[in-house]
Structure 1
Amino acid sequence: MPWTLRRAVDADAERIGEITVAGWRHAYRGIVADDRLDALDPAEVAERRREVIAAREPMAVFVAVDEQGRVRGYCTVGPSTDPDLAGDTTGVSGVLYTLYLDPEVIGTGAGGLLHDAGVAHLAAAGFARATLWVYTANTSAQAFYAHRGWYADGEPYLGPGWSAPATRWAKEL
């Protein structure tokens, strides 16, 4: 399936909220408590994503658009807001904050394209290193990132308000 990648705009926020909720429910069932997954509200997620879409560089949100013009996935990247959590020792890392797809387009190449756009943006912004967090039990996401040169960079960690333990992954840019 051919994909078009572009920067997200405010009008994409509702769709991004829907994708986030569908992605969480697909990927995290059995990892995150069912009541938390069932309580997710796409409108609330959309409001939080609007803030990120409007944020200044080097924050960026990229969307994958299908042939019919429908947003089917997105990723969010930017600078680390918590250098200690990112494991920063010599400079601020870039972060791949989110990468979610409509479950029905997993495996079509959209995720890889979004990943590559986000990583390229971080490198162009001058970051030498990037990090991300993956739920420790999410082996499919770990395989996706390992295939793209990421490596586990720490022990499982359960942060305040987190749904399950996650492991930090890193990549040199």
Structure 2
Amino acid sequence: MRWTIRRAVEADADRIGEITVAGWRHTYRGIVADERLDALDAGEVAEVRRSAIAAPEPMAVFVADDEQGRVRGYCTVGPSRDPELAGDTTGVSAVLYTLYLDPEVIGTGAGGALHDAGVAHLAAAGFTRATLWVYTANTGAQAFYARRGWTVDGEPYQGPGWSAPATRWARNL
């Protein structure tokens, strides 16, 4: 399958909300409490993503369009909002905040294409290091990121309001 990666626009937000809810429910059953997954609201997620789409550089949201032009995945990248949590010691690092796909397109290359676009954007913005968080029990995502040069960068941590313990991963850009 061929993917077109582009910057998200406000009109993509509702679809991004749907993808987030579907992705969470598909990937996090058994990791996150069912009550939390069942309560997810695509409209609420869309509002949060609208803010990210409208945010100034270097924040960016990328989407993957399939051959019919339908958004099937997205990623959000930008500067760290919490340098201490990011493990920053010399400068502000970048963060890959989200990368979600329609469950139907997992394994088709959309995730890798989105990842690469996000990482390239961060490097072009001048960042030299990036971090991300992966639920510690999400071995599939860990393998995905390890194949792309990310390494574990800390002990599992469960911050206030987090649904499950997560592990920080990092890579140089």
| TM band (smaller chain) | over 0.9
Letter of the aligned partner of 2:91 in structure 1?
Answer: G
Secondary structure of the equivalent of 1:31? coil
**1: CA distance, partners of 2:154 / 2:165:** 12
Task: Please name the residue that 1:57 is paired with.
Answer: 57
Q: Deviations over 1:17-45 (max 9, x none)?
A: 00000000011000000000000000000
**2: CA distance, partners of 1:90 / 1:21:** 36
Give me the CA root mean square deviation.
Answer: 0.3
Task: Please name the residue that 1:101 is paired with.
Answer: 101
In structure 1, list runs of 5 or more residues that go unmatched.
none
Letter of the aligned partner of 1:43 in structure 2?
Answer: G
**2: CA distance, partners of 1:67 / 1:113:** 14
Q: TM-score, normalised by structure 2?
A: 1.00
Please report how far the alpha carbon of residue 60 of structure 1 lies from its aligned counterpart in structure 2 after TM superposition.
Answer: 0.1
Please report how far the alpha carbon of residue 75 of structure 1 lies from its aligned counterpart in structure 2 after TM superposition.
Answer: 0.1
Q: Deviations over 1:61-111 (max 9, x none)?
A: 000000111000000000000000000000000000000000000000000
**1: CA distance, partners of 2:140 / 2:66:** 23
Q: TM-score, normalised by structure 1?
A: 1.00
Instruction: Give the paired residue count.
Output: 173
Percent identity for Structure 1 against Structure 2? 86
Secondary structure of the equivalent of 2:127? coil
Say if 2:36 is the partner of 1:44: no
In structure 2, list runs of 5 or more residues that go unmatched.
none
Please report how far the alpha carbon of residue 170 of structure 1 lies from its aligned counterpart in structure 2 after TM superposition.
Answer: 0.1
- 1:150-161 correspondence runs (5 A): 150-161=150-161
